[in-house]
Amino acid sequence: MDLPRSIRFFLEDTGDLARFTGHYFGLGFSRPFETGELLKQCYNIGYKSFGLVALTSFIIGLVLTMQLHPTLVEYGVASQLPVMVGLAIIREIGPVIAALIFAGKIASSIGAELGSMKVTEQIDAMEVSGTNPFKYLVATRVLAATLMLPILIVMADAIALLGAYIGVNIQGTTSLTLFFSQVFHSLEFSDVVPAFIKTFFFGFAVGIVGSYKGYKAAKGTTGVGNAANSAVVLASVLIFIIDLLAVQITNLLGFN
Amino acid sequence: METKKETITTIPEKQETAIVIEHLYKQFGTNKVLDDFNLTVYKEENVVVLGKSGSGKSVLIKCIIGLLQPDKGNIIISGKSINGLSHNELDKMRSKIGFLFQGNAIYDSMTVRENLEFPLRRRWIKMSQEQINAMVIEALENVNLAHTVDMMPAELSGGMLKRIALARTMILKPDIILYDEPTSGLDPVTAREIDKLILDLQKKYHTTSIIISHDMNCVKKTADRVVLLLDGKCYAQGTYNEFEIADDPNIKQFFE
């Protein structure tokens, strides 16, 4: 019996992505290393995303606090606001929101850039110039995304907590020292480390999906548009799937 | 109509071969693009491969440079078969072959200088920055565009981009150059300039060329020998003048 077209396409695409990922691990860490291009991509992917990630994280911290405050007051635990906001930001909201914003910016950008390079034969031109385009274009972007997102998320968490502090002070008065000491006292190893580790996987997912969609883009402007669009959609879905798996694994390991 | 083979058979008497293509087959799905294609190109000869759109001309030169893998057959370049070459050996072979892409394939995120430096740096040739600069300027002077060295591709016209692409192709002074429709999309005046540049550079660097084209002015100007690719086979070959007076309707249609 023939499988429906959409299911066949999904299975083929998943298989292709798995092969592409395998190719990355087979080739991405072999010599010669493209150090110059890697540093350039770290700048493009990391530094240039900081503003957007910082802004959204700040707003999320602020809004989360303002939304939680009335409920906590109702239950008479308003003093626990920094603890609750801190846990929510560090464990879940900070990494996931920053990763989604990162996916929207970087997966689409990598998908569109590599897609347009593919349709204008720039990737072929690299290959005939003695360059392995997979190493030069894909390996550097994936590694840069994997390394930069965790750094961005650490900064995003700090900025979101700052937003939360301002949110707390809109509705009351708490000193900065008190707010942060309450937040940090409530945090444990099991809150910080698993949340940090999963950010590497988020970054990897964004880099590999963006590169895969761009590298496999169909000819024409529609192909480039589809590559950028599907890169964001798939990267975002993968972030949620990785998050779900990370929670399950940390539960199994007894970190919760 | 039955496919005739080699209706015109004037072949140069030069002895030293640059490229020998033997029984080449390439199929995409059920579409046979190359079907027992044979061709010998002699040193310092300009061979124009003529054929309708979609007849497999670009596929042929992509097989020669190793961007596509033929299904069957043998390609011998400077006495060495490219079948079964390792990636490094293929890379070494490619350093002797230039490829001018139909859409230029200029890296649009790099300046003209960086575009020309790219093949030099990627070949891991040990050169000082002064030597690299001198080679870049020489290549640009060959195409009369030395003043564009620090410009971005977006600032240049289509004809200028074609000349920059030609300069980049020539920068490693290859023995063989493969031109994929070098005058397509250009106005007649610019196309004539490109034809002249191809001939001038061929004279200067004694290169062997395969030119893919269906622009009859380009064919007339540049061809030592014309080859008609039809139904995946080398249908006819001869000089431009022989083609011009041929009675065969498959040849005549290009001159109407």
pLDDT of res. B1: 30
Report residues of chain A scoring pLDDT below 50: none
Q: Which of B97, B105, B109 sits opposite A125 (nearest CB)?
A: B105
Q: Which of A122, A127, A128 sits opposite B107 (nearest CB)?
A: A122
Q: Do B105 and A127 make contact, defined as CB atoms within 8 angstroms?
A: no
Task: Give the Cβ contact number of residue B238 at 10 Å.
Answer: 22
Per residue in B163-197, pLDDT tens? 999 999 989 889 999 999 998 888 888 889 889 98
Per residue in B112-133, pLDDT tens? 999 999 988 887 667 888 999 9
Contacts of B38 (CB under 8 A, 6+ apart): B21, B22, B23, B24, B234
Q: How far apart are CA B62 and CA B55, in angstroms?
A: 13
Amino acid at A157: D
Band of pLDDT at residue B161, cut at 50, 70 and 90:
very high
Residue with tokens 């061809």: B223
Average pLDDT over residues B8-15: 56
User: Structure tokens of A58?
Assistant: 């700040």
Average pLDDT over residues B240-253: 89
Task: Give the Cβ contact number of residue B66 at 10 Å.
Answer: 20
Where would I find the beta strands (DSSP E) of chain B? Answer: 17-28, 31-42, 46-50, 72-77, 80-81, 97-100, 176-180, 208-213, 225-230, 233-238
Statement: residue B25 has pLDDT above 50: yes
**Min Cα separation B23/chain A (Å):** 24
pLDDT of res. A52: 95
Query: Which of B87, B102, B106, B110 has the highest number of chain A CBs within 10 A, making it the mutation to test binding with A?
Result: B106
Give the residue among A251, A16, A221, A238 at the shortest CA–CA distance from A107: A238
For residue B137, give Cα distances in angstroms to B30, B113, B133, B158, B219. Answer: 47, 9, 6, 20, 29
Give the residue among B198, B210, B256, B202 at the shortest CA–CA distance from B234: B210
Q: Do A128 and B107 make contact, defined as CB atoms within 8 angstroms?
A: no
Q: How far apart are CA B22 and CA B83, in angstroms?
A: 12
pLDDT of res. A256: 64
pLDDT of res. B128: 86
Mapped onto helix, strand or coil, the DSSP state of residue B4 is: coil
Domain map of chain B by residue range? 1-96+222-256
Contacts of A87 (CB under 8 A, 6+ apart): A186, A187, A191
The pairing of beta strand B225-230 with beta strand B46-50? parallel
Q: Do A128 and B102 make contact, defined as CB atoms within 8 angstroms?
A: no
Q: How far apart are CA B94 and CA B61, in angstroms?
A: 12
Number of A to B CB contacts under 8 A, please give it: 45
Helix residue ranges, H only, B9-100: 57-65, 87-94
The pairing of beta strand B72-77 with beta strand B17-28? antiparallel
Question: How far, in whole angstroms, is CA A132 from its chain's centroid?
Answer: 26
Mapped onto helix, strand or coil, the DSSP state of residue B55 is: coil
Q: Do A129 and B118 make contact, defined as CB atoms within 8 angstroms?
A: yes
Q: Minimal Cα distance from B98: which residue of A?
A: A128
Q: How far apart are CA B32 and CA B198, in angstroms?
A: 31
ipTM: 0.86
Q: How far apart are CA A103 and CA A141, in angstroms?
A: 13
Q: How far apart are CA B148 and CA A236, in angstroms?
A: 42
**Min Cα separation A30/chain B (Å):** 14
Query: How big is the CA angle at A79 (ends A76 and A83), to the nearest 5 degrees?
Result: 120
User: B1-96+222-256 — its CATH code?
Assistant: 3.40.50.300
Residue with tokens 């798939």: A234
Q: Do A129 and B119 make contact, defined as CB atoms within 8 angstroms?
A: yes
pLDDT of res. A161: 93
Residue with tokens 């900070």: A94
**Min Cα separation A127/chain B (Å):** 8
Band of pLDDT at residue B3, cut at 50, 70 and 90:
very low
Mapped onto helix, strand or coil, the DSSP state of residue B177 is: strand
Per residue in B212-235, pLDDT tens? 988 888 999 999 999 999 999 999
Q: Minimal Cα distance from B169: which residue of A?
A: A129
Statement: residue B15 has pLDDT above 80: no
